[in-house]
Amino acid sequence: MTKIATCAFPPTYDVDKSLELHLSYIDEAADNGADLVVFPETSLQGYPPNFIVGDPEGAIRQMFDVAEPVPGGSSVEAIAAKAMDRGIHVIYGLTEAGDRPGIVYNTMVLTGPQGLIGTFRKVHVPIPEQMVWRPGNDWPVFDTPFGRIGMLICYDKSFPESCRELALRGADIFVMSTAWPMMPGHGEGMDNMWVRQYDAFERVRAMENGRWFVSSNFIGELGGFQFFGMSQIVSPMGEVVVTTGIDTVGLVYGDIDVFAGMAAARAALQGPFLIRDRRPDTYLALRGDIPTAVDG
């Protein structure tokens, strides 16, 4: 059995306070026997303010000022040291300083008992975010003692190709860090359109690939956004094993059998058969061999 903790994290632009929260939650997760603890997108420095109601120039400058290299950033090294000390795997998000000045990425970091394991840079970067971050261009999968992890960030989960690519590369567990807010004017609580969309995407991505899906989201207000938490673990059958819901701050835990869960999905004719019975030779528009009729 593997114990996974996922966090509905109260966001802040105070990096020192955020780091303290990360270290405290890592201790809490380790004290409760977790093998992995997951935090949201840009959990270290906070998600940029809403450009519609804020100051784009100031927000961009803020993100560049707090960007950290991986490895080498002071907060990055502090979290790695804590993970090594407590013998736990940790996934968190940050604005990563690139190798060249003026280039930053929206990045997830996987670190563990042996130190830094790897990173993932957000691939699908929507237009407002392109004012800050460059997109990544790869879907790495990382070995851990409890299974192979593939990571994705927020908007990435809106695309079925993201998780399908990770599954084809051998991922057993999809881990998504996100800063996913309520959609103003489109329902309250669990009836909000973006809450329903958030949950539906996770269940379907898990089911259509026969893989586990772990998510971590902010909860609370930051930069003009109202984030709703709902950090959760979804089984390969599309069942929510555990969730913070939209009201709980902090960690929830799920004890899962990674490979038994995948086997159950396979026995129920889930994800593996949808992978096996694909017909890539017929997907001409997806391959770019014929013009597409829809252009966003």
Decide if 73 contacts 97 (C-beta within 8 A): yes
pLDDT, residue 54, reads 63
In the sheet that 115-121 helps form, which strands lie side by side, from edge to edge?
115-121, 104-112, 89-97, 36-38, 2-8, 250-256
pLDDT, residue 268, reads 87
**Domain carrying residue 94:** 2-287
The span from the CA of 167 to the CA of 162, in Å, is 9
Is the preceding omega at residue 71 within 30 degrees of 0, hence cis? yes
Q: Considering the domain boundaries, does residue 24 fall inside one?
A: yes
Which of helix, strand or coil describes residue 57?
Answer: helix
* pLDDT averaged per 10 residues, the chain (length 296): 98 97 98 98 95 73 93 98 98 96 95 98 94 96 98 97 97 98 94 97 96 98 95 97 97 97 88 85 92 80
Which of helix, strand or coil describes residue 21?
Answer: helix
Task: For residue 137, give Cα distances in angstroms to 68, 122, 127, 194, 229.
Answer: 20, 8, 16, 26, 28
**Pick from 100, 141, 95: which is nearest to 118 by CA?**
141
Domain of residue 88, CATH code: 3.60.110.10
**Pick from 55, 63, 50: which is nearest to 94 by CA?**
63
Q: Considering the domain boundaries, does residue 292 fall inside one?
A: no
**Pick from 227, 288, 268: which is nearest to 9 by CA?**
227
pLDDT, residue 52, reads 67
**Pick from 248, 232, 262, 236: which is nearest to 38 by CA?**
232
Which amino acid belongs to residue 47? Answer: Y
Which are the contacts of 44, defined by CB distance < 8 A and separation ≥ 6? 15, 18, 19, 22, 68, 75, 92, 93, 94, 95
Q: Considering the domain boundaries, does residue 293 fall inside one?
A: no
How many helical (H) and strand (E) elements, i.e. helices and strands, does the chain have? 8, 14
15-32 confidence digits (pLDDT tens): 999 999 999 999 999 999
Q: How many CA atoms lie within 13 A of 209 on its CB side?
A: 29
104-119 confidence digits (pLDDT tens): 999 999 999 999 999 9
**Residue appearing with tokens 């008992």:** 113
Decide if 197 contacts 184 (C-beta within 8 A): no
Q: Considering the domain boundaries, does residue 294 fall inside one?
A: no
Domains held by the chain: number: 1
Q: Considering the domain boundaries, does residue 207 fall inside one?
A: yes
The span from the CA of 156 to the CA of 108, in Å, is 12
Q: Considering the domain boundaries, does residue 26 fall inside one?
A: yes
Residue 284, token pair as written in the block: 């001409």
pLDDT, residue 57, reads 81
pLDDT, residue 296, reads 64
Q: Considering the domain boundaries, does residue 267 fall inside one?
A: yes
Decide if 255 contacts 242 (C-beta within 8 A): no
Q: Considering the domain boundaries, does residue 296 fall inside one?
A: no
Which amino acid belongs to residue 26? Answer: I
Residue 133, token pair as written in the block: 């971050």
The span from the CA of 192 to the CA of 199, in Å, is 11
DSSP 170-224: T-SEEEEEE--B--TTS-SGGGSHHHHHHHHHHHHHHHHHT-EEEEEEBEEEETT
